[in-house]
Structure 1
Amino acid sequence: MANLQTDLNLTYLLFGAFIAALAMVQSIFGVGLLIFGTPALLFAGVRFDEVLSVLLPASLSVSVLQIVCDGRPKTSEIAGYFVYMLPALGIGLLVALFAHVPGLDLFICGLLVFAAVLRVSPNYREKLMAFAKRFSRTTLIAIGMVHGMTNMGGSLLEAYVSSRESEKLNIRQSIACGYALLAGSQLIVLASVGRFQVSAATGIAIIVASSVFLTFGRRTFALIHQTRYRVFVSVLMVLAASALIAKRALV
Structure 2
Amino acid sequence: MSVDILLTVIVTAIVQSIFGAGVLLLGYEFVDVLIVLLPISIAINLLQIAKHHAHIDFSFYRRVLLLTLPPIGLFLFLVTHTRINIGVLIGLFLLLIALKEFSPAVTRIIDALMKYEKAYFVTMGIVHGLSNLGGSLLTALVHHKDYTKDVARVTVAASYATFAAAQILTLWLFSRSQIDVPFAENGIYLVVGSLIFLLTDEMLYTQIDQAKYRRIFAGFLAVAGMVLMIRALS
TM-score category by the smaller chain? 0.7 to 0.9
Establish whether residue 241 from structure 1 lines up as the match of residue 225 from structure 2. yes
Instruction: Please give the root-mean-square deviation of Cα atoms over the aligned residues, in Å.
Output: 2.2
Establish whether residue 19 from structure 1 lines up as the match of residue 2 from structure 2. no
Establish whether residue 150 from structure 1 lines up as the match of residue 131 from structure 2. yes
SS, match of residue 166 in structure 1: coil
Establish whether residue 59 from structure 1 lines up as the match of residue 59 from structure 2. no
Going from structure 1 to structure 2, the CA distance change for 1:101 and 1:165 (only over 3 Å counts) comes to same
Residue 79 of structure 2 is matched in structure 1 by 96
Residue 205 of structure 1 is matched in structure 2 by 189
Higher helix proportion (structure 1 or 2)? 1
Going from structure 1 to structure 2, the CA distance change for 1:182 and 1:63 (only over 3 Å counts) comes to same
Counterpart CA distance in 2 for 1:25 and 1:215 is: 12
Q: How does 1:31-50 map to 2 (within 5 A)?
A: 31-32=21-22, 35=23, 37-38=24-25, 40=26, 43=27, 46-50=28-32
**CA shift digits 1:110-151 (9 cap, x unpaired):** 11111111133467547635643x222111111111111111
Q: C-alpha displacement at 1:247, in angstroms? A: 2.6
Q: C-alpha displacement at 1:216, in angstroms? A: 2.7
Q: C-alpha displacement at 1:155, in angstroms? A: 1.2
Q: How does 1:153-168 map to 2 (within 5 A)?
A: 153-168=134-149
Going from structure 1 to structure 2, the CA distance change for 1:122 and 1:211 (only over 3 Å counts) comes to farther
Establish whether residue 74 from structure 1 lines up as the match of residue 57 from structure 2. yes
Residue 214 of structure 2 is matched in structure 1 by 230
Residue 28 of structure 1 is matched in structure 2 by 18
Structure 2 counterpart of 1:185, from 145, 148, 166: 166
Going from structure 1 to structure 2, the CA distance change for 1:89 and 1:119 (only over 3 Å counts) comes to farther
Going from structure 1 to structure 2, the CA distance change for 1:182 and 1:196 (only over 3 Å counts) comes to farther
* Contact 1:53–1:202 under 8 Å retained in 2: no
Q: How does 1:130-145 map to 2 (within 5 A)?
A: 131-132=113-114, 134-145=115-126
* Structure 2: 5+ residue stretches without partners: none
Counterpart CA distance in 2 for 1:99 and 1:15 is: 22
SS, match of residue 93 in structure 1: helix
Counterpart CA distance in 1 for 2:82 and 2:206 is: 42
Counterpart CA distance in 2 for 1:47 and 1:127 is: 36
Counterpart CA distance in 1 for 2:108 and 2:206 is: 26
Q: Which amino acid aligns with 1:85?
A: T
Counterpart CA distance in 2 for 1:153 and 1:185 is: 13
Q: Which amino acid aligns with 1:115?
A: I
SS, match of residue 97 in structure 1: coil
Residue 100 of structure 2 is matched in structure 1 by 118
Counterpart CA distance in 2 for 1:195 and 1:239 is: 33
* Contact 1:16–1:204 under 8 Å retained in 2: no
SS, match of residue 192 in structure 2: helix
